[in-house]
Structure 1
Amino acid sequence: MPLSDIAIRNARPRAKPYKLGDALGLFLLVQPTGGKLWRVKYRFHGKENKLAVGIYPAVGLAEARRRCEGVKQLLAAGKDPSRERKREKIRTRIQAEATFEAVANEYCEKRKRDGDKGWANSTSVRCKYLLSLLKNSIGNLPISSIEPADVLFAVRKIEKTGKLESARRTLQLAGSVFRYAVATARLSSDPTRDLRGALTTPTVCHYGAILDPSRLGELLRAMDRYDGQFVTRAAMRLAPHLFVRPGELRQAEWEEINLEHALWTIPGRKTKTRKDHLVPLSRQSIEMFRQVRALTGPSGYVFPSMQTPNRSMSGNTINAALRRLGFASDEMTSHGFRATASTLLNESGKWHPDTIERALGHGDADNVRSAYHRGAHWQERVAMAQWWSDHLDQLRQPRSSPAN
């Protein structure tokens, strides 16, 4: 006979546990302590099992019957209810542990290890910083519970501070984290998918760079007169000759530089393309490196921090020196030396465009073409490096004319 609410309420404990049967295998187990536990008895592959489906009175008779029906539906689908219960507990635990912050950290570590496409150290630091801006808003939320409105609220907090580009990049990175969560079976869809166009588009600002040869000559002469730290002066004076990325210059180490062979090999872990970048050294660059080596060599960073030799020079050191010389940020930056060299080398008409691109360390999506051009243009790059340093020396001279 099926159970009734009255029968359940009136059930009194006994010295030993006993059962009150309902239907379809559902029964109430009354404990000597007075507790009343719902159980479902079923058979799977000929073996009898029992599954707990709740505690009375938190789970009433109607709800217990509904849960019993769910057990029968799993059996009809050929699934073991006990095994499905364990799987659900595992999924719930994983989802609770998979907060946005945890998945974001996991994603960043993966991107650092992604072979040729892995993040450079500077990229990793920047991306981790941007994702940390979301920590207080969605960092501690289970990633499976985050909705588009949560993400939009979080990035608009960044936008309201006036950091439009940071807000845009953070939203892009968050989307990458969510898509990684989808790929690793912790999320069904990316909540940033429909947020395109929600943020204010920032105005594109190019790095300040001097492109006028006479003005460049004024800068070179000003750098010669710089009366700050010797290491800062050396890095600033080398920057136009080498025109590598600022992070590559300030993180240069003596073990990478072979003055006898006039070669600086920047390891792939420090480059944007994640491939080794070879930089031919002119006579002028070698002489400047030798002057620095007498102070900071023969091992460690070429341009160490003033606080500790275990760290490289700060990322803002050269820019601060340029400001001190009177060159505003919209006129010249440490990154601007690359645009300066690219523009003037191309305008000279002396060098193949691919040679200039290779010197700038720009990657080539075609690996075969990349390998070919690395060999085909090396001798031209060596000649160009020396011509460029000679050209800078001419520009440095007052009222000099560019080299022909």
Structure 2
Amino acid sequence: MFLTDRKIKLEKPATKSKFLNDGGGLQLEIKPHGIKLWRYRCTINGKRTRLSLGEYPAVSLKAAREKRDELKSLIAQGIDPRTAKETPKEESQSFTSVKDMVEQYLNHYRADRNEKYWQGVESLFRRDVLPIIGNLPIEEINSKQIVTIVQAVQGRGAVESAKRLFTQISKVFKFAIAHGECTRNPCGDIERSMVLQKPTGRNYPTITDPKEIGKLMYDIDHYTGWYMVRFGLLFLAYSAIRPGNVRLAEWSEIDWDKKQWIISGEKMKTGKEHIVPLSRQMLEILKFAKHYATGGKYIFFSNRHKNSSMSDVTFSKALWRMGYGNDTIVPHGFRAMFSTIANEHSEYGFEVIETQLAHKIGSKVAQAYNRAQYLPQRKKMMQWWADWLDERKRKREIELNNLDKGYQI
């Protein structure tokens, strides 16, 4: 069935990229963050590949079909459009832009690795490189411009992304040199370790924008992987407890009558027993998990070994599959999220919040707190936090429903 502008506008993003077919190899890729890109699936020299035709609506449906037909004609003549000369309309441009070279580079190597990898690379270029130097001649790019770009990425806390981006920029220039589009690689003059420093401290990446938190909670709630991972991530978000404690949570630690999760001192970083008040939402998760329990001691058990806990990378991998890299949020980041929101938006004091996080506060005498310290306040606070998260998620659901109806709030 052919695409229409109406169908394209009504189509909402999913937790991973999806493709709408228009026929003749033309596809519209809809990324999880909502960007819509035209792709042309074709066979060049006996090898299946996917060419980029631009972003919708900047490139209209009609224009995308025309580009597809032009490329199909070139391929039928035995011409590889990735290395072909510019069309007559573009020949007046006396240089090859960075954007042109990036697209050629991505198209050339896309089939060599999995699509998710190249989606991540393309996202880096689209967000951090092309808006700044995309329209400039690739031959004129200098080292200072490269340093400015990667340091800006590092400046927002995305250290690993900055490193990956530097490597990919260098590869684009090597590709350009090999195809005679420039004569030198400005990245070769840069010692990466001198411009990109190692992260300091223990500030875990997190999300603190309420709208983005709502999107995250919605995505977790609709996670399609192992259901125990979904339960575990939701429990992690609602409890704000360390990921290791959630993974290793045992049924014997749950006091159903008092609605408490009691973690022994042996499992706590402080070495002291910790009480976690269970909100209504956390109790619901536990009831669901109990329904699937197999008799093992762990609440959130492994899908490979029912009597074993999940591995320490399970939550991170699930977040990554949903589109949240380590530069955006890590499992430990849910604690920083709770701390930030609770301090800024709740009526509860610093001591109550820090006690719930099982942080050491005050003098050594103050640190030797009663295990039930601030328990009444913490019980109310954890229910407030769970309700706050659910309200953000509900707003995300309303937003998606309205987008599906053809308008945006």
| TM-score of the two chains, using structure 1 as the length reference | 0.47
| TM-score of the two chains, using structure 2 as the length reference | 0.47
| Higher RCO (CA 8 Å, separation ≥ 6 residues) | 2
Which structure is larger by alpha-carbon Rg, 1 or 2?
A: 1
